[in-house]
Amino acid sequence: MSKVDIKYTKLFINNEWVDAASKKTFPTINPQDETVITQVAEGDKADVDKAVSAAKKAFHRYSEWRTIDASQRGRLLLKLADLMERDVKYLAELETLDCGKPIKNAENEILWSAGIVRYYAGKADKILGNTIPADGEVLTFTLKEPVGVCGQILPWNYPIPMFIWKVAPVLATGCTTIIKPAEQSPLTALALAALIKEAGVPAGVVNVIPGYGPTAGAAITHHPDVDKVAFTGSTEVGRIIMSAAAAVNLKRITLELGGKSPLVICNDADVEQAAIIAHNAAFSNGGQCCVAGTRTYVQSGIYDKFVEKATEIAKKRSVGNPFENVDQGPQIDQDMFDKVIGYIDAGKKSGARCVVGGSRIGQVGYYIQPTVFADVKDDMKIAREEIFGPVQSILKFDTLEEMIDRANNTEYGLGAGIITKDITAALTFVKHVRAGSTWINTYEHIVAQTPFGGFKQSGTGRELGEEGIQQYLENKTVTISLPKKPLLQ
Amino acid sequence: MFRNIRKIVHLQKAKFSAAAPAPQTNPEILYTGLFINNEWVKSSDGRTFQTENPATGQVITEVQQTGKSDVDRAVKAAKDAFRLGSPWRTMDASQRGVLINRLADLIERDRIYLASLETLDNGKPYTAAYYGDLGGVIKNLRYYAGWADKNQGKVVPTDGKYFAYTRHEPVGICGQIIPWNFPLLMAAWKLGPALATGNTVVMKPAEQTPLTALYLAQLVKEAGFPPGVVNMLPGFGDAGAAIVEHPDVDKIAFTGSTEVGKLIQRGVADSLKRVTLELGGKSPNIILGDVDLEQAVEAAHHALFYNMGQCCTAGSRTFVEDKIYDKFVELAAERAKRRVVGDPFRPDVESGPQIDSEQHSKILNLIESGRTQGAKLVAGGSRAGDKGYFIQPTVFSEVKDDMEIATTEIFGPVQQIIRFSNLEEVVERANNTVYGLAAAVFTKDLDKANYLIQAIRAGTVWVNDYNIFGNQVPFGGFKQSGIGRENSEYGLRNYTEVKAVVVKLTEKNS
């Protein structure tokens, strides 16, 4: 086990490190061995109030943050990207320690996130309003203004990327924010806050309050001075946040929630390549991915061959100490561990054929064997509910037409993929599947430039790309009456 | 919309009068060759030319002179760098942005050197070179670095069973010919959008000012751009003509005189190369009677005299409303007399020399025409000092619209102050020119400002300020001041070719 130097464990408010008002702390657990890594300050309503106050002050119309050039905000973001790359090794170790993901993945995710910061750095002074040929003797234009003070609540599955997906558009648009990282993984959020300060972002623009959902999270979503809330996590909690927003001050909301995304593999696919894509789609990050390909639909012509290949690949998947060269580390915590084991048991009971795995690994740490179920039916629990663990479910289908309806037969709509050489089948499927991100002959290709988000109960709004910036803007239309004189042409 | 002018003028002065780090008054000249395919080579026919220090009239150094076969070599390198499957064509768009940002980093690193070299070769005050030119270069490159992965095409709901979308592709090999008045800045304005959108470039800096462009080429290599993406060819109009005529060049971008712009436009008629031109101007600066007089005089002074009047957008027709005219002229003349002219490396100097003896003579001749045609000389009027190409800041009042100094682009430190009495009249007179590059309105009145903004035929209209250039804002001319716009999102269009893709489907898709 690596010895990682933990520098920041307090609340980050107004560019300062402070204890919680209550002086309370909470433990963050190492999922490899279930021990306590360290105590972290536990934020609650009083701390959120302080943070919102700081964020509000930083958003005042004469503040430094509101009066610097947009291009200067871009410069600060570029600096942040540089700092993330400077500290990639340290940040990766901290991430792996806190959430158990293989360290190579953690490193790649940090570099990917730095690229996202650079994307938004370039966007800062390119947020354009319009001048409009409106009816009447007027000059009309639109201003795209920052929406204001934001509350952002993060999940634990990709702590650093999720922090960056939230903070980058805030900084690009000139908003301010209070971020509550997941209680399972607060450490890298605090390390990134330190980098944000080092980059030169003014005090109060970014505030980080570690703590729990029902306390700190609820305080944020209920705060009357928070103009907008963004949340990534479960659909269940997403509903709670939407209610809170409606009840208090009609906060604008973006939600990135759960999924049960179908990956459709047609007869003309190269079985080996398709099996690899499907394997990664299901097992990436130990299956702890909102857009995981968790319903693997295989056309009947290649079904048996595919199941054989999928089994072979899953058996080779290495699980162990994430600081070493493994494919998979532990699941995040006891709760998720129990839940996943529960689904695996349900899968076995429902009559699906368990061809690989199916049990925990070892006695200590939340390790679960990569598990594959074949002959899964659409109405089984493992085919309908989000498992969020290393479990692949393989189902059979006959025609594309039937497949479209089965793909859409879910309350979710986050992602979908199809593997085929047929251009018409591919375009037809992506057109008719009700999902926010669709892939053809690949899966989970998510980059800075491509908007990401869900249809239906997988969420509302989009992150990344052009669309991602829209969520942090409020449109203001300005109409000026023009002088009532005849004008020269 | 109408910020307090006092604050703006104050900020402008403050920006440039904060002490810049000390210049290198004798900067080392490192690169004097042709830059082709990331290599320094001599001209194939052995010709060289000299570049001069306009403050002294003395030769700085000899530079290799580009001939036709050098142009052929450079275009070939640019073409190879652009071929399908090349490193430049296959790298992520965001990676182009990373390289451009790296180039900006290197320029920042060498900012003092580059500003010093610019002052040596061009004669502009070092403070302006350091803050204005170099500041603008760095910002422009960073601005376009940010566009690299954001040049998005569209998906469109076409009729019939089709899936239709557009690709925004690079236009190809771009020939870029830049002027001597803002050498490095003009290089950045051209390179930024061309490289961001994935094109390759053959650039010819002005023969009067090759040095900073050549150093920039070396930084391009150091930043990691693949060979052939940027080629730098110092030389004269014949090299420019060879670029314009070369069949493998897809696009020409030129900044310079309207006269040469027309030659280029004619030159590409057979090949139908895409062309953008930034040409001359005779921009009206319209000052209404309700302004703070001192501030307006100061702003109008800078509008004309900045960069020794060598600005395509110079406010060279200062229209002043009757009721404040006489007082305005008095203050303007006073201000011109106070303008500090001298060694451009001195921090207190506001004007250096003009660029060369040809410009120097041309300007003095035009001043003479002002005298003989009956304008009233209220400041300056002659050369300054006895070496280098210095001219006294010159002001004419009682200028009539048909005088040569009111119609011809002088490109020197000569201010024309012209009387007007009402808005409709001044609009007609302001528009009565073949040019249409820029214009300004000074007034507190919202309605009058809006009236003039709408009526003036110019690519940029400033209100209560002058010569404000942001990379985010498009720049270019109406009429014979040019074709196309540089900077901003609009600038991307010049370097993008749109390809529509229409895919047949078996069923209706919307």
Interface contact flag, B447 A427, Cβ < 8 Å: no
> Closest approach of chain B CAs to the CA of A182, in angstroms?
31
The DSSP line for A296-358 is EEEEGGGHHHHHHHHHHHHHT--BS-TTSS-SB---S-HHHHHHHHHHHHHHHHTT-EEEE--
For residue A290, indicate whether it is catalytic. Answer: yes
pLDDT at B506 over 80: no
Task: Spell out which residues of chain B touch residue A121, defining contact as CB-CB under 8 Å.
Answer: 146
Q: Which amino acid would we find at residue A365?
A: G
Integer Cα distance of B276 and B474 in angstroms: 13
Residue in chain A closest to B101 (alpha carbons) equals A78
* Closest residue to B163, CB basis, from A427, A487, A488: A427
Q: Is B409 left (phi over 0), alpha (psi -120 to 50) or beta?
A: beta
Integer Cα distance of A117 and B356 in angstroms: 47
* Closest residue to A487, CB basis, from B148, B163, B455: B455
Integer Cα distance of B380 and B241 in angstroms: 38
Q: Which amino acid would we find at residue A27?
A: P
Task: Spell out which residues of chain B touch residue A428, defining contact as CB-CB under 8 Å.
Answer: 505-507, 509
Tens of pLDDT, residues B15-51: 455 689 999 999 999 999 999 999 999 999 999 999 9
Interface contact flag, A482 B149, Cβ < 8 Å: no
> Closest approach of chain A CAs to the CA of B198, in angstroms?
16
For residue B278, indicate whether it is catalytic. Answer: yes
Run of H or E including A337: helix A334-349
Please tell me what DSSP assigns to residue B413.
S
Which one of A93, A95, A256, A444 is the catalytic residue?
A256
ipTM value, please give it. Answer: 0.88
How many Cβ atoms from other residues are within 10 Å of residue A475's Cβ? Answer: 11
* Closest residue to B143, CB basis, from A71, A115, A424: A71
Integer Cα distance of B232 and B217 in angstroms: 6
Integer Cα distance of A116 and A256 in angstroms: 17
Interface contact flag, A449 B139, Cβ < 8 Å: no
Q: Report if pTM > 0.90.
A: yes
Task: Spell out which residues of chain A touch residue B424, defining contact as CB-CB under 8 Å.
Answer: 488
Could you read off the pLDDT tens digit of each residue along chain A, which spans 489 residues?
Answer: 457 999 999 999 999 999 999 999 999 999 999 999 999 999 999 999 999 999 999 999 999 999 999 999 999 999 999 999 999 999 999 999 999 999 999 999 999 999 999 999 999 999 999 999 999 889 999 999 999 999 999 999 999 999 999 999 999 999 999 999 999 999 999 999 999 999 999 999 999 999 999 999 999 999 999 999 999 999 999 999 999 999 889 999 999 999 999 999 999 999 999 999 999 999 999 999 999 999 999 999 999 999 999 999 999 999 999 999 999 999 999 999 999 999 999 999 999 999 999 999 999 999 999 999 999 999 999 999 999 999 999 999 999 999 999 999 999 999 999 999 999 999 999 999 999 999 999 999 999 999 999 999 999 999 999 999 999 999 999 999 987 754 432
Local structure of A23: helix, strand or coil: coil
